[in-house]
Amino acid sequence: GENVEQHPSTLSVQEGDSAVIKCTYSDSASNYFPWYKQELGKRPQLIIDIRSNVGEKKDQRIAVTLNKTAKHFSLHITETQPEDSAVYFCAAPGAAGNKLTFGGGTRVLVKP
Amino acid sequence: GAVVSQHPSWVICKSGTSVKIECRSLDFQATTMFWYRQFPKQSLMLMATSNEGSKATYEQGVEKDKFLINHASLTLSTLTVTSAHPEDSSFYICSARVDRRDTQYFGPGTRLTVL
């Protein structure tokens, strides 16, 4: 099955700085890569996703890049704000595509 | 759009009792629903995949006789934790999607505490 590794596990940044989270996956057949944000005690919410036919996608302060050759994808948050503080999860579906395997999560703290 | 609800949001029960958690897609029909368990400060661990009208597919290590899943309609799936024990205490989250190309949308989760 798919194996997803996520780094770093914790990330502390100063407000206004950028944050980058990286995930690697094992199954080259994976073709969909979502990122979820989860605040304490709440549901994971999709913030951005990318499919394997594109290398980069941007939505305001958030961007995701995908390197299929190296089997890794990254989340970039620019101009971080305190409300960006949360746990972020990446995921990949594997060859079957019928379920998602999640990374271990990154706890982001944006210091004012 | 794409709203998923869960009920109850939290439940406390005695050891040995059974607890049922409902997951509903409110504004779309979900061919597939997923059940996850999340322990504090940990990632989402998939327990089972549920397709409407068929038996659920359980992940390795998940006891299907303990975690009963029913997906009776395109908008409702239920998870029943049978004979719950303290080690079953966790945050249970469901998600739903329309088809394989679609995003998974998560419910708000149910916090189960077994005394």
Per-residue tens of pLDDT for chain B, all 115 residues: 689 999 999 999 999 999 999 999 998 898 899 999 999 999 999 999 998 888 899 999 999 999 999 988 999 999 999 999 999 999 999 999 987 667 899 999 999 999 9
Question: Which of B7, B42, B44 is the mutation pick for testing A, counting most A CBs within 10 A?
Answer: B44
Q: Which residue's structure tokens are 């709203």?
A: B3
List of chain A residues whose C-beta atoms are within 8 Å of the C-beta of residue B34? 99-100
Residue A38's closest CA among A89, A79, A4, A76?
Answer: A89
List of chain B residues whose C-beta atoms are within 8 Å of the C-beta of residue A32? 101
Chain A stretch 9-68, residues whose beta carbon is closer than 8 A to a beta carbon of chain B: 32, 34, 36, 41-46, 49
Nearest-CB residue to B43 (from A34, A43, A103):
A103
List of chain A residues whose C-beta atoms are within 8 Å of the C-beta of residue B111? 41
Query: Which residues are registered as beta bridge partners of B80?
Result: B20, B68
Q: What angle do CA A78, A65, B96 make, to 5 degrees?
A: 95
Tens-digit pLDDT string for chain A (112 aa) = 889 999 999 999 999 999 999 999 999 889 999 999 999 989 999 999 999 888 999 999 999 999 999 999 999 999 999 999 999 999 999 877 788 999 999 999 999 9
Q: Which two three-digit tokens encode residue A9?
A: 């596990």
- pLDDT, tens digit, 9 for 90 and up, residues B85-107: 999 999 999 999 987 667 899 99
Cα–Cα distances in angstroms (integers) from residue B36 to residues A58, A71, B7, B14, B45, in the given order: 29, 25, 15, 22, 5
Distance of CA A42 to the CA centre of its chain: 17
- Say how far apart CA A80 and CA A92 lie, in whole Å: 25
